[in-house]
Amino acid sequence: MSQKKAAPILVLSAMPSEIIMIRHAMTARKEGTLEIYPYVSGKIGKLKIITAVTGVGVTNGAMCTALFIHHFKPQAVIVSGTGSRFNHALRCGDTMISKKTIHHAAGSLTDDGMVYRKVRGPLPDMMTHYAYPPDKALFKEAQAAVKTYEAEEMEIDGERYTPEVRPGIVTASDLFGVSEAKIADMKKKLNPDIMEMESAAIAQVCDHLGYPHIVFRAGSNLTQSNPGTAYRKYGQAAAASAGRWTAHFLKHLSSKQA
């Protein structure tokens, strides 16, 4: 976290349902607008927080992130939200701390599936990767915060359990659902835990502009070709689970402030 501690932390979610729990945890809330984006600012403990909804997809995620970074110069960017459960061992509400965030549609689509490639960035010698790790300090603090986190018990499909928070791999693109062939190709080449639509683009913006970031995604429905009905069934519970964890993480960071 190389930015000044007096700067705010920017928290981004794709959907309003994914930001609610975080805003509930904030005090001294104020509303504002940056270009087309409404936002809510406030505090969690000693930390200044800016929260915004990016909208769905890579373009919305990247555009919102770049605008808010340019305007607010945050000390860090946090992504909080949901994603489909690519890893079937995950339960609804289990939350991944992304140890790598991947564009799963970046490269060449061949008869043998995807060939993942870097592409040229905005500068002559700048190559855009298809995978981005989180900030090392934020990742370390997230692992520390897990030790003091008490998740709320959930009941999903008749099963009661306490969701887990752990490191995992997140993939993103504008594909809301994917075919069985795509699932098999991703499993073989990437082996992700969560699939969603914004985090890789947000991570890329943070990487290129030099801002620390970390991604938290809770599992909703299983990854499938047409997740509409299933996402509506599981999405709200997953959003609340991710939001509770993110609020806890921010309180943990606040306790580290001098």
Residue 115 belongs to domain with CATH number: 3.40.50.1580
Q: pLDDT by residue (tens digit) across 174-214?
A: 888 888 999 999 999 999 999 999 999 999 999 999 999 99
Total domains, the chain: 1
Q: pLDDT by residue (tens digit) across 80-129?
A: 999 999 999 999 999 999 999 999 988 889 989 989 888 888 888 887 88
Rounded-to-integer distance, Cα 196 and Cα 171, Å: 6
Q: Is 3 domain-assigned?
A: no
Q: How high does pLDDT run on average in the chain? A: 93
Q: Is 208 domain-assigned?
A: yes
Number of Cβ within 10 Å of residue 15's Cβ equals 17
Residue with the larger pLDDT of the pair 229 and 34: 34
**Residue 3 pLDDT grade (very low, low, confident, very high; cuts 50, 70, 90):** very low
Is residue 145 scored above 90 in pLDDT?
A: yes
- The helix-helix angle for 199-209 and 58-72 (nearest 10°) equals 30
CA dihedral angle for residue 197, residue 48, residue 256, residue 80, rounded to 10 degrees: -10
Rounded-to-integer distance, Cα 253 and Cα 230, Å: 34
Average pLDDT over residues 10-21: 97
Question: 230 by DSSP, 3-state: which?
Answer: helix
Q: Which amino acid is at 221?
A: N
Task: Assess contact for 160 and 153: CB atoms under 8 A.
Answer: yes
Q: Using alpha carbons only, what angle is made at residue 39 by residues 31 and 64, rounded to the nearest 5 degrees?
A: 160
The number of angstroms, rounded, from the C-alpha of 216 to the middle of its chain's C-alpha atoms is 4
Q: Is 212 domain-assigned?
A: yes
**Residue 2 pLDDT grade (very low, low, confident, very high; cuts 50, 70, 90):** very low
Note down the domain range covering 71: 9-255
Q: Is 34 domain-assigned?
A: yes
- Identify the CA nearest to 45 among candidates 8, 83, 3: 8
Q: Is 129 domain-assigned?
A: yes
Dihedral class, residue 35 (left if φ above 0, else alpha if ψ from -120 to 50, else beta): left
Q: Is 57 domain-assigned?
A: yes
Is residue 61 scored above 80 in pLDDT?
A: yes
pTM of the entire structure?
Answer: 0.93
Q: Is 4 domain-assigned?
A: no
Residue 85 vs residues 47, 111, 195, 239: alpha-carbon distances, Å: 32, 26, 7, 13
The pLDDT value given to residue 117 = 86
Residue with the larger pLDDT of the pair 257 and 242: 242
The H-assigned helical ranges of 73-198 are 136-146, 180-189
Q: Is 1 domain-assigned?
A: no
Q: What is the DSSP letter of 135?
A: P
